[in-house]
A and B are shown apart, each in its own frame.
Chain A
Amino acid sequence: EPEVTQTPSHQVTQMGQEVILRCVPISNHLYFYWYRQILGQKVEFLVSFYNNEISEKSEIFDDQFSVERPDGSNFTLKIRSTKLEDSAMYFCASSDEGMNTEAFFGQGTRLTVV
């Protein structure tokens, strides 16, 4: 069964460093998303991406964040200068286009900023 895969599963980084979280969506999907879940809090939408551009972003997704689909298969989330409050589980998701669209989630990357 096709699935969304994310790497790494856990990343530890120093405050102020740049991190790139990687995702491989399901191959025939057209919409891609990043969500995050701070420990003990709800899952929050960050950004959606369609047709090689951002289609929607939340207020969390400020200038420190960027997304890219560099090679037609990977979908990345970059945080330019990490802050302690960026520590969270980051989930990638993808979905097909059309009716009754279901989002498929990856297993997540736990980002720890120290």
Chain B
Amino acid sequence: AQTVTQSQPEMSVQEAETVTLSCTYDTSENNYYLFWYKQPPSRQMILVIRQEAYKQQNATENRFSVNFQKAAKSFSLKISDSQLGDTAMYFCAFMKHDAGGTSYGKLTFGQGTILTVHP
């Protein structure tokens, strides 16, 4: 079984600054994806960024980037130039897949980190 741990229940950042959210995971699987999901106050979860575990290159999506350390089983999210709209709960999540890359769909989530961006 997999576990995902987010050790920061709450974080805050000033607008335009950079913030890093931490995530660690534990698994015996070799093939998996890691995700960061954003859950704004309206409560619909939205995918922010995805990392394939077999790729060494860290994923980047505009202002969002990850620091993926496979050996350490660490997957942090960096938000640059924070905006007020980034205020949300952020979930780190794990999904295993087969050797061909097809996933089984089940996500294992961390506890979440509430991020507040202050003007």
Residues of A within 8 A of B (CB): 31, 33, 35, 41-45, 48, 50, 55-56, 89, 91, 95, 97-108
Contact = CB atoms under 8 A, between A and B. Distances in A.
Contacts of B37: 105
24 contacts: A33-B105, A35-B107, A41-B111, A42-B91, A42-B109, A42-B112, A43-B91, A43-B112, A48-B104, A48-B105, A48-B106, A55-B104, A55-B105, A56-B106, A95-B105, A98-B102, A99-B97, A99-B101, A100-B33, A103-B105, A105-B37, A105-B45, A107-B42, A107-B43
**Chain A interface, DSSP helix/strand/loop, else mixed:** strand
Contacts of B45: 43, 91, 105
Interface of B: 33, 37, 42-47, 50, 52, 91, 95, 97, 100-112
Given A99-B101, A106-B44, A45 B108 contact: yes
Nearest to A46: B106
Contacts of A98: 101-102
Contacts of A97: 102
Given A42-B109, A42-B111, A42-B112, A101 B102 contact: yes
Contacts of B110: 42
A50 to B, nearest CB: 8
A43 B44 CA distance: 12
